[in-house]
Structure 1
Amino acid sequence: MKLFAPLLLAASALLAPAAHAQGYPNKPIRLVVPFPAGGATDIFARAVSQKLGDRLGQSVVVDNKPGAGGTIGSDLAAKSAPDGYTLLLATSSTHSIGPSFGKTPYDPVADFTPIAYVGNAPSIMLVPNSAPARTVKEWVDYARKNPGRLNYASSGNGTVVHLGTEYFKAQANVFMVHIPYRGTALAIPDLVSGKVDVLFDSLPSGLPHVKEGRLRALGITSAKRSALLPDLPAIAESVPGYETVTWFGMYGPKGLPADIVARVNTAVNQALQDPDVKDRLARLGIEPAGGTPQQFAAMTTADRAKWKKIITERKLTMD
């Protein structure tokens, strides 16, 4: 019997991945969103979670864990068991920009398993209705005439909102004071009241406030105008070369079995092709992505390199 023990162990190892696939999932899956409810990442998660759950045969429960520019929820997901029952909806903030400053308690590559590139969205430049400017050019001129008197909100230090605004400051040659929040949704009341002068909020979460007349949009951060808002100029029309978008992607903790990665990746791709999901994302101004885990990993590697270059060349800081 001892002679066959090594063979039995080897056979068990070969069968282990198949066992993962056959048994997964057999209970609800937690999808950690490292930003508050009502923000772009939360909106995106809720837009796809039901269809994703339908394809996996289990409910996918969105769990908001905001704070520290998305690092609290991301670190929680990184330290979770690699069994596929805790997944993370990450963004440019959590896995490109924050790590480029060296300020995250996790390694965006070594501590995670990439699953799928879910989509991306531009941001819009929002100001209070009481703001004296009605165009990006007017706002830049006003800011230059009032150096140090204006402030801007962000979703936290090291987030894409923070860095995107710092990039705008550098490109437009203006100065503003940074006021970080735990998420852009929490900054909206202060922006509406005029306590904050400007916010570059993601299109999905910022657009409803514009449509409801609570805030004024001056421009969009994509290189060209959006089909969703054809009358809203691209900021690049007034500030040449300026462009930022937020990407969204799904990760598991490091060591997530390959068969579980493949199962979730397939379900995500199928959910993104669902007509209802595609229609909802289009109305939110979100462009669905999809693809393989390898393609997702390559995209994030390039994105980190881009932001690292901007941070270094512009001498941008976390303050």
Structure 2
Amino acid sequence: MLTTAPLRAKEPYPNRLIRIVVPVGPGFNTDALARMLAEELRKKARVQVLVDNRAGGAGGSVGAEFVARSENDGYTLLFSSPGPLGVNKLLYKGLGYEPLDLTPVGLMSEAANVLLVRAGSFKTLGALVEFAKANPGKLNYGSGGVGTSTHLSMEVFKTRTGTNIVHVPYKGSAAAAVGLLSGQVDMFFGELGASIEHIKSGRVAALGVGTSSSHRLLPGVPPIAATLPGFTSTVWYGLVAPPKTPAPIVDKLSSWVVEIMKQPEVVAKLQAVGGRAIGAPAGEFGRFIREDLRQLEKVIRDANITAI
């Protein structure tokens, strides 16, 4: 007599450790935000959530490629800023993955950048622009690397002001900040949260913030848009999954990200470091990535930045 064993019920997701890959080393703002998200996600998912730093490669491509090649079961995710999620394809040849194939899960937050100069060098943005125009190639600026918001923001600034300021790329924004503090470079578009203490101590001067209006953490510093209408400089952070991750898994993760970003304590933590909680769901995040990439492609083209 033939018997049929009962079908085994599909195990619910999640039921084991979730790994969040971060394509930068410990100590960077991306890493700090990923750890904040991981802690809150652990409470929602009721499983361990591990942050796995995998720095290296062109624009953080090592960590992104690892996730792109991982199983699409929802247990390996990528938390990143724009570079690995789109910009890298415009700037680096021979990437081992296609950024737009990654599955959007949720847009977490946005942070403002601020234009910093060496203490005692320039008092106003107008004075900086005037000097740069009169002395092409004499000033330089640091960035966190090719394709980062710190790089592209200054290239937009140069295009808008008609100035020639030499690019000095570093391996990460923290190293670029040290370059400014030590006098190796003249200016740097730093993330506000990571720069606020140096500004308050007088070690660097802030000439303008990248938000459309004055920022509450720097009430005396004007927006760059007051001098260059429409200019913004911010960096966003989001969570993605491997290509073709099943919709039910994405929907569950996405709903958790949205819920987490609405929590008052999370909103307060982000505001304290110059950030803004967004919490956009998967579909909206996917559209956001493509629109952001379209705008950045124009920036790269206008600034004549070539692929490496």
Structure-2-length-normalised TM-score: 0.90
Change (3 A) 1:25 1:164: farther
Equivalent residue number for residue 209 of structure 2: 220
Equivalent residue number for residue 262 of structure 1: 251
Report if the CA contact (8 A) 2:144-2:173 is conserved: yes
Equivalent residue number for residue 26 of structure 2: 37
Equivalent residue number for residue 57 of structure 1: 46
Equivalent of 1:289, from 237, 258, 278? 278
Is 1:305 matched up with 2:289? no
- Residues 54-108 of structure 1: CA deviation (Å, up to 9, x unaligned): 1111232222223332222222221222222221112222223222335443212
Equivalent of 2:10, from 2, 15, 19? 19
CA distance in 2, matches of 1:218, 1:105: 39
**SS of match in other structure, 1:69:** coil
Is 1:119 matched up with 2:119? no
Give, as a single letter, the amino acid of the residue that structure 1 aligns with 2:248: D
Equivalent of 2:70, from 80, 105, 117? 80
**SS of match in other structure, 1:289:** strand
Change (3 A) 1:315 1:59: same
Q: Counterparts of 1:166-315 in structure 2 under 5 Å?
A: 166-315=155-304
CA distance in 1, matches of 2:250, 2:63: 20
CA distance in 1, matches of 2:28, 2:158: 23
Report if the CA contact (8 A) 2:152-2:299 is conserved: no
Equivalent residue number for residue 105 of structure 1: 96
CA distance in 2, matches of 1:200, 1:114: 27
Give the drift of 1:310: 2.5
Structure-1-length-normalised TM-score: 0.87
Change (3 A) 1:153 1:105: farther
CA distance in 2, matches of 1:48, 1:184: 21
Give the drift of 1:210: 1.9
Change (3 A) 1:183 1:292: same
CA distance in 2, matches of 1:267, 1:78: 22
Give, as a single letter, the amino acid of the residue that structure 1 aligns with 2:100: V
CA distance in 2, matches of 1:213, 1:86: 42
CA distance in 2, matches of 1:124, 1:108: 28
Q: CA RMSD of the aligned region, Å?
A: 2.5
Report if the CA contact (8 A) 1:37-1:185 is conserved: no
Deviates more, 1:288-297 or 1:93-102: 93-102
CA distance in 2, matches of 1:224, 1:23: 43
Give, as a single letter, the amino acid of the residue that structure 2 aligns with 1:263: K
Give the drift of 1:305: 1.0
Number of aligned positions between the proteins: 306
Give, as a single letter, the amino acid of the residue that structure 1 aligns with 2:129: V
**SS of match in other structure, 2:207:** strand
Give the drift of 1:199: 1.0
Give, as a single letter, the amino acid of the residue that structure 2 aligns with 1:176: I
CA distance in 1, matches of 2:263, 2:182: 39
Give, as a single letter, the amino acid of the residue that structure 1 aligns with 2:301: T
Identity of aligned residues (%): 34
CA distance in 1, matches of 2:194, 2:48: 24
Equivalent residue number for residue 165 of structure 1: 154
**SS of match in other structure, 1:316:** coil
Give, as a single letter, the amino acid of the residue that structure 1 aligns with 2:169: P
Structure 2 segments unaligned to the other structure (5+ residues): none
Q: Which has the higher helix share?
A: 1
Report if the CA contact (8 A) 1:125-1:198 is conserved: yes
